Amino acid sequence: MKTTVMLAYGRTGLSVDFPKDRTTVLEPSFVEGLPDQERAIEKAIQDPINTKPLSTLVSSNKTVAISVCDLTRPIPTHTILPVILNALKHVPKNQITILIATGTHRANSTSELKEMLGNEIVANYSIENHDAFDQSTLKHIGEITPHIPIFLNRTWVDADIRITLGFVEPHFFAGFSGGPKMVAPGLAGFPTIMRLHDFEMIADPKARWGITDDNPIHSAIREIAKRCRVDFSVDVAINKKRQITRVCGGELFSVHKLMCESVKNSAMQAFSKPFDVVVTTNSGYPLDQNLYQTVKGLSAAAQVVKKGGVILCASECADGLPNHGEYGNLLRKCNSPRDLLKMISEPGHNRHDQWEVQLQAQIQTRADVFLKTDGLTDEEVRAAHITPIDDIGQAAEDHLQRHGSDARLCVLPEGPQTIPYLTEMS
């Protein structure tokens, strides 16, 4: 007896059959999209939490910077941003800059900006792709404990009014996305990002999905956002149809706390026992554009795979590794995940993308990883220390047989949109 599951894969999805009696399918608790999204956004900024309405908060003589997600996040910015800009219609357009919070990701192209923001906004507003590596576009505003220098986008720091527009979901080492992450790492310089993502930070057991208390990365991000005041924040949650299910506006930390609590209830699920085989994705396009981003899907699976188990991942990776940063180069420097961890842990090893390599290697010391992809060759997959496969369903059957008649399979069709966790890690 089979159960058919549609895995989120690229733009089209991937239909796969699994043995029904041995399979647990874990999807996000479906929350209906808001019936009138624009009206809900309007209400959130007209009746905000712990601050004034946006339209009265900003006077017409102020310069405004708005931090928005890049294309690797599925937030419907093209729906939210026009409502925010309408509330700022008394502010001249040439005093407003929209900052794409890329962190260390590549710049978004004009066509991608139009897809994200809409043609009208691209045509009428100043838009800046943040560049973490261009020192001339950054401003140093001090340091926080433990020895984290604060370099932030100069346009952001110099603006009179700063607004964040974020998407809240569990994050694999910062606890949750959205909120203060729209400042750092979103608009931070590489020296700041590198310190937030160094070996010690990533290796901390509290740096994981859904944890904000005592998470050193989340705590540092909050401190950076406090140093460069955010005047107004809008955070949203979405369902798998990319519809807004909840929106909050107002004071940054109050908004983010409420949204994290809400999202945890719908996007995280506890299990008492680990699974022998876990099938995962990276939530389809635009999240599964490259292998770098796909580590998030692997990390979601790693939360419930048993020690010595198997992770099977379906991720299109149309953008390759990608071909920027040092992720691919670092993977090729060693012959095994354990050697990669040893290299990264060496004092002074501070390289772009090492955090993603570290997370991937940590997962691979726990479980064997296999990848179904159309965007990478088998040789490229193997060079990343991963085994390529063509048929997810057959691979699942094979590994279940190898693990015995009692072996169990967990399928995460939406990848990191739902985060399983064990009440006791095995």
Chain centroid offset of residue 28 CA: 16
What are the residues whose beta carbons fall under 8 Å from the beta carbon of 43, sequence distance 6 or more?
A: none
pLDDT in tens, 317-340: 999 998 777 999 999 999 999 999
Asked if 171 and 220 sit in the same domain, the reply is yes
Indicate whether 119 pLDDT > 80. yes
Is the per-residue pLDDT at 426 higher than 70?
no
- CATH number of the domain within which 110 lies: 3.40.50.11440
What pLDDT is stored for residue 180 in this prediction? 98
What domain count does the chain have?
A: 2
Closest C-alpha to 150, from 233, 251, 220: 220
Residues 333 and 244 both lie in one domain: no
User: Which domain range does residue 256 map to?
Assistant: 37-265
Of 212, 237, 265, the last residue of a domain is: 265
pLDDT of residue 121: 98
User: Residue 425: pLDDT above 70?
Assistant: no
Cα distances (angstroms) measured from residue 55 to each of 42, 62, 83, 85, 346: 11, 12, 11, 10, 51
Residues 216-255 have pLDDT tens digits of 999 999 999 999 999 999 999 998 788 999 999 999 999 9
| Residues 214 and 359 occupy one common structural domain | no
Q: In the chain, what percentage of residues exceed pLDDT 70?
A: 99
Is there a single domain that holds both residue 246 and residue 278? no
98 and 232, same domain (yes or no):
yes
41-79 tens-digit pLDDT: 999 999 999 999 999 999 999 999 999 999 888 899 999
Residues 42 and 19 both lie in one domain: no
Q: Distance between alpha carbon 90 and the CA centroid of its chain, in Å?
A: 34
Least trusted range by pLDDT, from 8-17, 271-280, 325-334: 325-334
pLDDT for the residue numbered 423: 83
155 and 43 within one domain: yes
293 & 186 share domain: no
Q: Do residues 222 and 74 both lie within one domain?
A: yes
What 3-state class would DSSP assign to 292? helix
Distance from C-alpha of 171 to C-alpha of 402, rounded to nearest angstrom: 32
Looking at the structure, tell me whether residues 201 and 301 fall in a common domain: no
Give me the percent of the chain exceeding a pLDDT of 90: 88
pLDDT at 213: 92
Max Cα distance, the chain (Å): 70
| Residues 194 and 293 occupy one common structural domain | no
The residue type at 372: K
Regarding whether 334 and 405 lie in a shared domain, the answer is yes
Where does a domain end: 245, 265, 285? 265
Task: For residue range 92-113, list pLDDT tens digits in order.
Answer: 999 999 999 999 888 999 999 9
Which tokens sit at 90?
Answer: 């008394």
Which of 224, 249, 265 is at the close of a domain?
A: 265
Is the pLDDT reported for residue 167 higher than 60? Answer: yes
- CATH number reported for the structural domain that contains residue 368 in this entry: 3.90.226.30
Residues 247-266 have a mean pLDDT of 95
Lowest mean pLDDT among 27-31, 167-171, 229-233, 311-315: 27-31
Q: CA 16 to CA 5: how far, in whole Å?
A: 5
> 223 by DSSP, 3-state: which?
helix
